[in-house]
Amino acid sequence: MLSSIEKLLKFIKLERERGYDNRAVVGGLDKIIPSWTNEARAGGLSEEAISAVTDRLREYPQVDAAQRPEFVEALLKLVEDSASAPVESITPVVPTATAAPVPPPARLAPAPTPEPIRRVEPPPPTPAQREEPRPAVVRSAPVDEARPLIGLDAPLTVLQGIGPKTAQTLAKLDLNTLADLLYFFPRRYDDYSRLKPINRLEAGEEVTVIGTIQAIQSRPVRGGATQLVEAVLNDGTGNLRLSWFGQPWLVNNFHAHEQVVVAGKLEQYLGRLVMNSPEIESVEQDHLHTNRIVPIYPLTSGITQKMMRRTMYQAISFWAPRVGEFLPASVRTSLKLLDLGTALYQCHFPDSQDMLDLGRWRLAFDEIFLLQLGVMRQKRSWQQAQARVFETPEEWLAQQTARLPYTLTGAQQKALADIRTDLASGHPMDRLLQGDVGSGKTAVAATAIAMVARHNAQSAIMAPTSILAEQHYRGLTRLLGAESESGPAPLQPEQIRLLIGDTTAADKQEIRDGLANGSIKLVIGTHALIEDPVQFQDLQLVVVDEQHRFGVAQRAALRAKGANPHLLVMTATPIPRSLALTVYGDLDLTVMDEMPVGRLPIDTHVVPPVQRERAYQLIRSQVDKGHQAFIIYPLVEQGENDETLAAVEEHARLQSKIFPQLKLGLLHGRLRPDEKDEVMTRFRDGEYQLLVSTSVVEVGVDVPNATVMIIEGANRFGLAQLHQFRGRVGRGSEQSYCLLIPDRDDAVENERLAVMAETNDGFVLAERDLEQRGPGEFLGTRQAGFATLHMANLTDVRLIEKARNQAQTLFQTDPDLSAAQNASLAARLDLFWKAGQGDVS
Ligand code: ADP
Ligand code: MG
């Protein structure tokens, strides 16, 4: 059936479902006439049928309510009849091969005629149509498949209607070139083909609903710490409750009687349907009749959704078909992927939900595939490099491990065996040591350092913050620099130094000298290590702790201080294996999946918000025993300001109202790094009994005396991140506790959080998290640099496996991508990595 007919049938049926209130279409059914006429004509529906339908539509608003059911049935029949009528001839827009390829114009010419629908040439517009605002579109020219990305690096000012000023505004969204536009995706889509009346909504659905605000107001909650905005939406069939935490400005932006569109997930609360923190926008009248699925783009001040959509339409419809395909045909056909141009077009202006899914799948595939090819190329270049050989005798190693204050776990021994083999291989070690918080990675790093020091060579260890660097300095000096009955220490304490931002100029000079003449064997530091002009006499081992906090460039910069030194990177983020192999495919992987014996599992509970007092009680009783506690506050929507606000306000409230007799520290993202370090140091040293923090609380920090971790708004965090927070406690010998307090008592959400109470295993939680949120989201929140996996967000592990397999197959046959059919791919790969998209670890 023609899509114009289908669309019309949908609206008519919706109208019937709504009880004939003439609101299936915002503004009334007659509002769809102009666009529907265009579409019907373009689809070849006869003029006779078109005018029969439009006449009725025009009449409908005037029809008496009692007469409407009958009228609608008649209309329905009329439409169904015209669906079976013969279709007039359709002229394809894309001319045949006779036309020579047209070079891209420097400035896109204005469209000679409005062109509502791609691929189909409409007849000349009627005056009525001309009044309809339409995005300016340039007629599609023949597309030469083999052409590379023509002119896509051109500035946005080549687009019609975009002057330098608008271009500047768009630059705030990082939109500078045509290619940027093509890859700037909607943050959501409003699917008007699936609009549902409120009385037919069901819990759990993700929906878009149109209605009128009945009431909207704001009230303080959590003892005044934050504001709750509540609204009631009505669409004539029923009411829907909406609520937002911490967005008080909404009451100024939206008013009763205003018509809005909201999108979000329906939840059940006390037996009623509610939408928590839905997206909300005023209705744009022309949404309904421009597209069935309307893209909603991220905006910045100075640009409206309408302007944005018009610009995008102009750019996408002209340029998407001209983007050169870079995937080899073999890859595309074996996975039935859309071609790049179609995929891009469908991701912006989808013809249907299915096409949108296919488009996203293709683009997500690209990201993972390019990522994978890049890491394989990287790995190969490392494997080809030479490095110094460090032999480690068995007895010596046994002696070293005997020096440690505990017996190594099996996992620690296995990790050391891997490292020992790497160091003796003659090629640079590139190993990722992945071990859950508290699994004892430091002892492994210490022993690796000892292996290298035994040959008189130097090592460096880099940590993301001063406090972590200091912690390592103390720990490693104890592990490496102290005599014991089982043998001499691998290093003397004076051979180990700490270099951080705070190190005095005199000390820095001393350290530079010591590293240059080789008297210092181990330096522990922060970024200062790379920023400082330190020169090593013989740097052979580089250890990077909490590696996700560093970019590839920083890792490389430290590495460059030696000649092909061995590299050990450590992370506590338990990334599921499939994902780790892809994003860290350039590194060999050792997983430490075993905890030192005798660790008490952290006693974890989900606490409903009304029982918050229980959590405070726990803090009091633990502090009475001399222990310390953390309270974490989440990001409350829209940027860290609110997160900071929540923590700052709660800190004040807790200090004055709840725990006046305790000392409370406050940590948030707006503090300078040295201020953060200071707060953490004071907490570690016991000056504060309670630390109120945003999610910036440092990974890896060891405060063994802390036994309570309370996480407010726990529903806003992924499981993997909750697990990281929880890892801040339970590091001593005492029983520790973790209480998760969701924003509200929601059964579905509580069930998700309950997994935290069931297991202390970070890998299990990571797998669950990945299933629930997809790789982009999973990595995005934790890993700097993954933000660029836009599309991979939306898909799943199957995609990763497929992309990985394809990349491996291709790499086996043509590792340098030198074959002719892989030339565009090679170029695209370079671009991807240069743009920093591959900057992942
Ligand atoms: P992470 O892997 O999170 O960096 P750490 O290296 O900081 O963990 O170790 C966490 C704690 O466990 C430290 O206090 C350390 O002394 C202790 N530890 C490490 N290995 C063992 C072991 N094999 N047996 C007992 N305790 C250990
Ligand atoms: Mg650590």
Q: At what angle do helices 33-42 and 3-17 cross, to 10 degrees?
A: 150
Return the pLDDT at 779: 57
- Tell me what the pLDDT averaged over the chain comes to: 80
Q: Cα(408)–Cα(402) distance, rounded to whole angstroms?
A: 9
Q: Cα(826)–Cα(609) distance, rounded to whole angstroms?
A: 54
CA-closest residue to ligand 1 atom 26: 596
Return the pLDDT at 551: 66
User: With 50 as the cut, is the pLDDT of residue 766 above it?
Assistant: yes
Give the three-state DSSP class for 629. strand
Ligand 1 in reach of 730 Cβ (< 6 A): no
- Dihedral angle over CA of 511, 512, 516, 517, nearest 10: -40
Nearest to 29 by CA among 14, 43, 17: 14
Structure tokens at 98: 């006779």
For residue 821, name the pLDDT band (cuts at 50, 70, 90).
confident
User: With 60 as the cut, is the pLDDT of residue 145 above it?
Assistant: no
User: With 70 as the cut, is the pLDDT of residue 107 above it?
Assistant: no
In the reported structure, the alpha carbon of residue 492 is separated from the centroid of ligand 2 by a whole-number distance in angstroms of: 23
CA-closest residue to ligand 1 atom 24: 596
Q: Which residue has the higher pLDDT, 511 or 95?
A: 511
pLDDT tens sequence across 410-421: 999 999 999 999
**What is the residue whose two structure tokens read 């990001």?**
635
Percentage of the chain modeled with pLDDT above 90: 34
Ligand 1 in reach of 732 Cβ (< 6 A): no
Is residue 520 packed enough to be buried (19+ CB in 10 Å), middle (13-18) or exposed (0-12)? buried
Q: Are 119 and 351 in contact (CB under 8 A)?
A: no
For residue 491, name the pLDDT band (cuts at 50, 70, 90).
very high
CA-closest residue to ligand 1 atom 5: 440
Which of 288-297, 315-324, 344-353, 698-707 has the lowest average pLDDT? 288-297
Ligand 1 in reach of 439 Cβ (< 6 A): yes
Nearest to 542 by CA among 680, 433, 699, 626: 433
3-state SS string for 97-116:
CCCCCCCCCCCCCCCCCCCC
Return the pLDDT at 839: 38
User: With 90 as the cut, is the pLDDT of residue 559 above it?
Assistant: no
Q: Which residue has the higher pLDDT, 7 or 373?
A: 373
Structure tokens at 197: 């009346």
Q: What is the mean pLDDT of residues 485-499?
A: 88
Q: What is the mean pLDDT of residues 568-579?
A: 79
What are the helix and strand counts (H, E) for the chain?
29, 21
Structure tokens at 119: 């691929």
Nearest atom in ligand 1 to the alpha carbon of residue 700 is: 3
pLDDT tens sequence across 625-665: 999 999 998 764 444 445 556 788 889 999 999 999 999 99
Range with top average pLDDT, 502-511, 786-795, 802-811: 502-511
Q: What is the mean pLDDT of residues 667-692?
A: 88
- Residue 585: phi and psi, rounded to 5, are -60, -15
In the reported structure, the alpha carbon of residue 833 is separated from the centroid of ligand 2 by a whole-number distance in angstroms of: 30
Which of 133-142, 225-234, 393-402 has the lowest average pLDDT? 133-142
In a mutational test of the pocket of ligand 1, which residue from 404, 406, 702, 723 has the highest number of ligand atoms less than 8 Å from its CB? 406
- Mind giving me the DSSP string for 298-312? ---TT--HHHHHHHH
Q: Cα(597)–Cα(614) distance, rounded to whole angstroms?
A: 31
Q: What is the mean pLDDT of residues 35-40?
A: 74
CA-closest residue to ligand 1 atom 9: 440
Q: Which residue has the higher pLDDT, 484 or 121?
A: 484
User: With 50 as the cut, is the pLDDT of residue 310 above it?
Assistant: yes
Return the pLDDT at 724: 85
Q: Cα(827)–Cα(729) distance, rounded to whole angstroms?
A: 48
How many other C-beta atoms are found inside a 10 Å radius of the C-beta of residue 234? 14
Q: Which ligand is nearest to the CA of 439?
A: 1
In the reported structure, the alpha carbon of residue 205 is separated from the centroid of ligand 1 by a whole-number distance in angstroms of: 45
Which of 555-559, 743-747, 767-771, 777-781 has the lowest average pLDDT? 777-781
How many other C-beta atoms are found inside a 10 Å radius of the C-beta of residue 648? 17
Which of 174-178, 530-534, 572-576, 772-776 has the lowest average pLDDT? 772-776
Q: What's this model's pTM, rounded to 2 decimal places?
A: 0.63
For residue 832, name the pLDDT band (cuts at 50, 70, 90).
confident
For residue 42, name the pLDDT band (cuts at 50, 70, 90).
low
Q: Cα(740)–Cα(262) distance, rounded to whole angstroms?
A: 29
CA-closest residue to ligand 1 atom 19: 440
pLDDT tens sequence across 587-603: 888 989 888 888 888 99
Nearest atom in ligand 1 to the alpha carbon of residue 409 is: 23
In the reported structure, the alpha carbon of residue 25 is separated from the centroid of ligand 2 by a whole-number distance in angstroms of: 58
pLDDT tens sequence across 146-171: 344 447 788 888 888 888 999 999 99
The single-letter code of the amino acid at 494 is E
Return the pLDDT at 1: 64
Q: Which ligand is nearest to the CA of 474?
A: 1
Q: Cα(522)–Cα(479) distance, rounded to whole angstroms?
A: 13
CA distances 824 to 147, 211, 217, 377, 422, Å, are 9, 49, 56, 16, 36
Return the pLDDT at 603: 95
Which of 122-136, 693-707, 809-823 has the lowest average pLDDT? 122-136
Instruction: Determine the Cα angle at 168 with ends 167 and 170, to 5°.
Output: 65
For residue 479, name the pLDDT band (cuts at 50, 70, 90).
very high
CA-closest residue to ligand 1 atom 14: 731
In the reported structure, the alpha carbon of residue 395 is separated from the centroid of ligand 2 by a whole-number distance in angstroms of: 27
pLDDT tens sequence across 418-453: 999 999 999 999 999 998 888 899 999 999 999 999
Return the pLDDT at 285: 60
For residue 88, name the pLDDT band (cuts at 50, 70, 90).
very low
Q: Which residue has the higher pLDDT, 697 or 100?
A: 697
CA-closest residue to ligand 1 atom 4: 441
Q: How far out from the chain centre does Cα 100 lie?
A: 43
Ligand 1 in reach of 727 Cβ (< 6 A): no
Q: Which residue has the higher pLDDT, 567 or 205?
A: 567
Q: Are 594 and 410 in contact (CB under 8 A)?
A: yes
In the reported structure, the alpha carbon of residue 476 is separated from the centroid of ligand 1 by a whole-number distance in angstroms of: 12
